[in-house]
Structure 1
Amino acid sequence: MSGTGWWRNAVIYQVYPRSFADGDGDGVGDLAGLLGRLPYIASLGVDGIWLTPFQPSPQVDQGYDVSDYCGVEPLFGTLAQFDDLLEAAHTLGLRVILDVVPNHCSSEHPLFRAAVTAAPGSPERAMFHVEDGLDGGPPNNWRSVFGGAAWSRIDPASEADRQWYLHLFSAEQSDWNWRNPAVGDYFEGVLRFWFDRGVDGLRIDVAHALFKAEGLPDAERPEDVVDGLRSNPQVSDHEEVHDVYRRWRRLADSYSPARVLVGEVNLEPQRAARYIRPDEMHQAFAFAFATLGWDAAAWARIGTELDAARREHGAPPTWALENHDLVRTATRFAFTPSDDGGRGVLRARAGLLAVLGLPGSAYVYQGQELNLPEVEVLPAARMDPMWTRSGVSRDGARVPLPWTVSPDNTFGFSPAYAGDPWLPTPPGWGATSVEAQERNVDSTLHLVRAALDLRRSLHEEGVLSSYDGGTWRAEDNGLLVCERGEQFLVAVAMGDTPANLPDGDVLIASSALTPEGLLPPDASAWVRRV
């Protein structure tokens, strides 16, 4: 479990616990289920796992509304079970990264409950953004990411108390006031709790939005508040936030081995790169890349920008095409809205192989190795709070994983005696299951295992370096090429016709080459230069 800079070229498997494996039969995935399936994750050849929140929470936003940062939600298990999971993961050679949510907490968090009962101007209220309203309404015009105003009355039943609290997400997720030093001290204790238990790192949710503009002014333009955090400069990317991560980096580096900090920094590449300067976080997800469509010119442009940021600030990119908030690529990359999934599935497979060959670290979302599509669940079954407030739902990427071909026991997600899963599974889910793909040597599951085994060998041989960059280009026929030094390149055919590959030996491809040796449309390949 040692190794300086292991994270620079690591492949991490993202686990969404409530949808991964159900160990106790209540229809919700849990730590016991994950523990039983750890050997499967290790068999992929990844270097570690990232767990989305399993801490105590009312589950309004499926765990991102934390009511106790230093515990385990009973729905998922116990702290002792987490310790067992951590030990088992380390035994299998898997590092463990947990989510921490420092921008906001649950409205049921004891410190927020204390703020509700305290008087205006009290130290308890100073832990949060609690302000007087204006003209009978909220303090400013900010909007929530989930839709509607970003403010709610702190005590709606009180005629005397007219103050409001800020929530960039749901009303049940109150924003911490990071301009209060007590908040920083509180979170240092949270980090120490998990680092002391032996976790290898933390993924920091909404890492760029902790500090809001001084004085909480209105957003000047109506378009700046349409979708809340994503467009409002008053709530994002303020300079003071970098001092937080410098403090956290000093703490992470004080452990042996040093712990890793991974930022959810949803900014343009040059701005996001400032969060991974040598004295701040180790990684920041390449969000500009994660939201791209199937377009060679766009991939080349963003890839070039990310490499420029790497050269300026030193940390390599952190690639991902899927996570629990994004539409799955088999659906997102579909040729047309009416596509039956054929081209989308090929493109998703090609995109995943390409990402695993790019310079830097990569994150694979659970089910991506099965090439799962987005699931259009019934509106009545939707659990995402965004659905009721904005009509947008992320549930389609969060449907429980299919483990077995048989539909019995929710395709192996739950034990035999279990009831329905927390989100319904499609009738044909078994065809995409782990069991079905284990039997098929041409499956995406086998492709991922082969790619990760090859990736490891190429690093050991010195063909690939953790510190190399990428030279990107998009050719007229839609061929995307990322060259890693003189010995290796990744090619993706994003046009509608087969493409000539650069000279070299094809090490692995997402689809068979044509009889003429061309890369077919919607396919990718790794090429070793001769």
Structure 2
Amino acid sequence: MTMPAVDTAPDAPQPHGDDLWWRSAVIYQVYVRSFADANGDGTGDLAGVRAHLPYLAELGVDAIWFTPWYPSPLADGGYDVADYRDIHPAFGALRDAELLIADALRLGIRTIVDIVPNHVSSEHPWFREALAAGPGAPERERFWFHPGKGPNGDEMPTGWVSNFQGETWTRTTNPDGTPGEWYLHLFTPEQPDLNWNHPDVRREHEDILRFWFDRGVAGVRIDSAGLLIKDPTLPEVPERPAPGQHPTEDRDEVHEVYRTWRRIADSYDGARVLVGEVWVPDAKRFADYLRPDEMHTAFNFDFMSRAWDAAELRTSIDLMLDAHAPVGAPSTWVLSNHDVTRPVTRYGREDSTFAFATKRFGTPTDLELGTRRARAAALLTAALPGSLYVYQGDELGLPEAELPREVLQDPMHFRSEGVDPGRDGCRVPMPWAGTASPFGFSPDEASEGPWLPQPADWAARTVEAQEADPGSMLRLYREALRLRRAEPGLGDGRLRWLEPAPGVLAFARHDVVNVTNLSDAPVELPAHDEVLLASAPLAGDRLPPDSTAWLRVRPGSSRSRPDAP
């Protein structure tokens, strides 16, 4: 049975303003558990976020994207959802979410919530009912229960490999204690995959969208958006699957799901946006998710996976702009998130690319170099056409925390048999003020320390310390986002490449020129009327290595407009 929808909150706010806000938006990602702890239990909560909304307004963001805030056993950081119509008790209550959405809107900040349609928690009522019902029961049809192979059913139904490494099937135990069927989980065993061929699954998620839209959220971020549909014949993965022929990824049938969701979003006043987490290497297939009747935008992961190299980054920028152009969708730009090694650390390594398979303990990092490059990258991405995502703490230049093994909680660490440090290093609680942990994350009288330990040297990286430092990363971000909002040439729109020296990226956006020096020597800046902002001090008209400058070239001045037709 589909769970009943809950009535709209009586004072549910409604998003307002420009229906195309999402094309140029600056969206700030909040990982609730690590943002701010109001009640002193060591875990971030919604009251903590509400208390810091003025900080986000001053930073200059247009929306907040919350990673899952629902009831969950937290086997995978909340991406194992047990109930979509409530809030995890450690974070607060549903009323806290409603008040937060309303408070944020009063400051001009919209809310985007995370939906995880591929799977639910093994503690979700549906899955518990399925286990209790036994083989062949209708309750099991909402999932992928299947007999095993071999004479006694002891072998997994397929050899599919998990996104978290390891096996994708777990065997159940029948009520009489005998070995039972297997169930599919592309992630951890605590995250059983839903069967999207079942009408209950589709109806339930459509009701979930309406539940949160009714409460005033401006959009949903769709986790693992390309994984929903599976081939019911359960074939093995071909060595080179043709487009749409992978048994679990990017199947053609998934697009009807998002066309239905778009119709629901469009039925509401004010733009309610669908943002996809779409890992699809083929540019054409990626763009298919962004057709006018499907998602509004999708995450661009290509850029943040590239090395700190001018040719690599230009290739990525061109690739993504070209991929979006046929469907008229804006690209998104992001340097990190709750799954990715932070840019200050990543850009300070010999291999500055990012791939889950290459993460290792003890990888050497030059944090001074990484910070310089992260400052330059912040301005570069903020100047590109489309929307910008900022992961909490990147505006402070936080590095990836090197945590002791005994405190790690991420399943990626354990499923790699301890080789991968996992993602906890980018999830360490935010430092707000003071000279010692909890650095203002929790009240002084807190009963518990932060759920993950904060490095002692973060005292120089707190919000309080950086607000007092004109050259800090925080002050750079604030000024960049202020200019981005004030300059009509930035945000959504077009880009025109200029041709500077080797190792330099330069492009024009109306009368603003971005110059990023990725070479190992200073370079002369192009002719300009004014330096709007630079990530590092200039030496006259010379831009140091690993730096970005934004320049003004005024229309009608003695210098021609760089992108004039």
Q: Does residue 102 of structure 2 align to residue 87 of structure 1?
A: yes
Q: Which of 247, 255, 271 is the matching residue for 1:258?
A: 271
Deviation at 1:302, TM superposition (A): 1.2
Please provide the CA RMSD for this pair.
1.9
**Stretch deviating more after TM superposition (398-407 or 328-337):** 328-337
Structure-to-structure mapping, 1:83-482, within 5 angstroms: 83-135=98-150, 136-155=154-173, 160=178, 162-221=180-239, 233-268=246-281, 269-336=283-350, 338-390=364-416, 391-392=419-420, 393-407=422-436, 410-418=438-446, 419-459=448-488, 463-464=489-490, 466=492, 468-472=493-497, 477-482=502-507
> How far apart, CA to CA, are the structure 2 residues paired with 1:234 and 1:332?
33
- Deviation sequence 1:354-408 (CA, Å, 0-9, x none): 1111110000000011011000110000011111111320001000000013215
Deviation at 1:161, TM superposition (A): 5.4
> How far apart, CA to CA, are the structure 1 residues paired with 2:550 and 2:175?
63
The answer to which structure has the higher helix fraction is: 1
- Cα distance change of structure 1 residues 335 and 387 upon mapping to structure 2, 3 Å threshold: closer
SS of match in other structure, 2:542: coil
> How far apart, CA to CA, are the structure 1 residues paired with 2:80 and 2:226?
18
* AA of the residue aligned to 2:543: L
- Cα distance change of structure 1 residues 499 and 257 upon mapping to structure 2, 3 Å threshold: same
Residue segments in structure 2 that go unaligned for 5+ positions in a row: 1-15, 351-362, 555-565
Question: Does the CA-based 8 Å contact 1:16-1:324 persist in structure 2?
Answer: yes
2:519 aligned partner: 495
- Cα distance change of structure 1 residues 13 and 340 upon mapping to structure 2, 3 Å threshold: same
> How far apart, CA to CA, are the structure 1 residues paired with 2:95 and 2:116?
22
- Cα distance change of structure 1 residues 104 and 178 upon mapping to structure 2, 3 Å threshold: same
Deviation at 1:157, TM superposition (A): 7.0
Aligned residues: 516
SS of match in other structure, 1:514: coil
Question: Does the CA-based 8 Å contact 1:264-1:285 persist in structure 2?
Answer: yes
> How far apart, CA to CA, are the structure 2 residues paired with 1:492 and 1:312?
28
> How far apart, CA to CA, are the structure 1 residues paired with 2:186 and 2:126?
18
SS of match in other structure, 1:353: helix
Deviation at 1:211, TM superposition (A): 0.8
Q: Give the percent of matched residue pairs that are identical in Structure 1 and Structure 2.
A: 49
TM-score (norm 1): 0.94
SS of match in other structure, 1:102: coil
* AA of the residue aligned to 2:34: S
* AA of the residue aligned to 1:344: G
> How far apart, CA to CA, are the structure 1 residues paired with 2:317 and 2:500?
15
* AA of the residue aligned to 1:130: F
- Deviation sequence 1:230-285 (CA, Å, 0-9, x none): xx932111111111111000000100113111111122243322211111111101
**Stretch deviating more after TM superposition (497-506 or 43-52):** 497-506
SS of match in other structure, 1:105: coil
Question: Does the CA-based 8 Å contact 2:485-2:491 persist in structure 1?
Answer: no
Question: Does the CA-based 8 Å contact 2:68-2:114 persist in structure 1?
Answer: yes
> How far apart, CA to CA, are the structure 2 residues paired with 1:101 and 1:512?
44
Q: Does residue 61 of structure 2 align to residue 46 of structure 1?
A: yes
- Cα distance change of structure 1 residues 170 and 529 upon mapping to structure 2, 3 Å threshold: same
- Cα distance change of structure 1 residues 98 and 298 upon mapping to structure 2, 3 Å threshold: same
Question: Does the CA-based 8 Å contact 1:330-1:374 persist in structure 2?
Answer: yes
Residue segments in structure 1 that go unaligned for 5+ positions in a row: 225-231
> How far apart, CA to CA, are the structure 2 residues paired with 1:190 and 1:522?
45
